[in-house]
Amino acid sequence: MHLVRISDQPDNLPKASEALDPKRDGDFAELVRLHHSELLVYARALSHDYSTACDIVQESFVIAYEKVHTFDVTRDFATWMRGIVRNKWREWLRKNNRYELTDGEIASIDADVAAWQAKRTEGSSTLFDALERCLSRLPENLKEAVYACYFEGRTGEEAAEKLSIGPAALRKRLQRARQLLKQCLDQKLESPSPPSDPIIES
């Protein structure tokens, strides 16, 4: 048995997800590699917690593997997996008495992840690649806020102090950055090669 290191795989390798049969072990392993990132983002968007998201995704793939005989090959594997992740998250909610999301909110998150899973299935660039390109196009003040909070792991107060702005202004910048990044990603979904000029704040 030989485990292929994921980082060794070329990113642009075309992966026809539809041609993969999860009932075959080799194909199942390929599907794990193909879908785990987006499912991790999905679970994290639902649970707001990194370790919970990891557990949910891991348990979901284990359940999928155990129940793979029930999977209809004519169905979409990504959709099936999102359903399992959602059920595991609901189970976690019940156990931990956490906040609930409305159906509309879940649908909104679900749609965002579904779009990227579909794109990934076609063999296009990953969500993280697209996100990196969109980040590079953000206005400098918003980019600084994103890097300070998300990439440098600073608290809101620390980031605000570093950028010499108030916490409220920082929150506003982060909100604006997320909105612009979403717009940029949506454009990338529609067009394979969007313009590379900076995003203009409206």
Partner 1 sequence: MNPNPAPKVPVPADEAFIHAALHEKARLHPSKYDETLVRNILLETVERPVRAELTHSGSREDRKLWIIGTAAAAAVAVLFAGIFAALPFRDDRLEEEVLFIVQHGNEITEEETANQTTPAPSKAGQPYRGTLSLTANAPGPRASFSIPDSDLELTTIFGQSISEFSPRAVRRESFHIVADEISIEADEKVYTGNVILEYGALQISSEYVRVSRSDHGEMASLSGTVIAHYVTVHQQSPYRKIVAERLDFHPLTASLVLSGIRLFQSESEPNFPVEGDQRIILKNDELAVERAPADTGNLIKYANPLPKENKRK
How far is the C-alpha of 91 from the C-alpha of 70, rounded, in Å?
A: 21
Nearer to partner 1, 19 or 167 (CB): 167
Minimum distance, C-beta of residue 54 to partner 1, in the bound complex (Å): 6
How far is the C-alpha of 40 from the C-alpha of 25, rounded, in Å?
A: 21
Nearer to partner 1, 23 or 83 (CB): 23
How far is the C-alpha of 174 from the C-alpha of 155, rounded, in Å?
A: 13
What does the binding site for partner 1 look like in residue numbers (CB under 8 A)? 1-3, 5-7, 11, 25-26, 28-29, 32-33, 36-37, 40-42, 44-46, 48-51, 53-55, 57-58, 61-62, 65, 99, 101-102, 104-106, 108-109, 112-113, 126-129, 131-132, 146, 149-156, 158-159, 171, 174-175, 178-179, 181-182, 185
- Give the single-character DSSP code of 151: I
- Helix axis angle for 50-66 and 25-47, nearest 10°, is 150
Minimum distance, C-beta of residue 64 to partner 1, in the bound complex (Å): 8
How far is the C-alpha of 79 from the C-alpha of 71, rounded, in Å?
A: 11
196 contact partners, CB below 8 Å, separation of at least 6 = 133, 137
Nearer to partner 1, 167 or 192 (CB): 167
Minimum distance, C-beta of residue 21 to partner 1, in the bound complex (Å): 13
